């Protein structure tokens, strides 16, 4: 019975694994893009001032927390679908 169930779900599992891998690739690209754009943020300029810089840094920290939550999701999916090697070492 278990072998039959395994055969029945094999294709949907593979489909979901493929989708998760593609989503992981998109997520990695989004993180890299954010990192590159972060180098251009105003808090790196003296003219911005302390208070405005603190506010912008807080915005960036909130975005980083979002990325960390997304990464946790992908870590879970990578273990579930056995593609742990796809995660970037950060």
* Structural domains of the chain, count: 1
Range of the domain at 67: 52-85
The residues, any chain, with a CB within 8 Å of residue 34's CB and separated by 6 or more, are 63, 67
Q: Is residue 40 part of a domain?
A: no
Place of tokens 């992981």: 24
DSSP assignment of 33-57 equals: HHHHHHTT-GGGSGGG-HHHHHHHH
Tell me the pTM. 0.71
Along the 90 residues of the chain, how does pLDDT read in single tens digits? 667 777 888 888 888 888 888 988 899 999 999 999 988 998 889 899 999 999 999 999 999 999 999 988 888 888 887 776 666 555
Q: Is residue 29 part of a domain?
A: no
Q: Is residue 74 part of a domain?
A: yes
């Amino acid at each position: 019975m278990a072998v039959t169930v395994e055969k029945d779900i094999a294709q949907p599992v593979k489909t979901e694994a493929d989708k998760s891998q593609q989503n992981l690739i998109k997520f990695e690209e989004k993180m890299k893009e954010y990192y590159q754009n972060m180098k251009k943020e105003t808090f790196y300029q003296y003219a911005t001032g302390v208070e405005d810089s603190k506010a912008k840094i807080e915005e960036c920290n909130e975005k980083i927390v979002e990325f960390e939550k997304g990464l946790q999701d992908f870590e879970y999916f990578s273990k579930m679908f056995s593609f742990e090697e796809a995660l970037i070492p950060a």
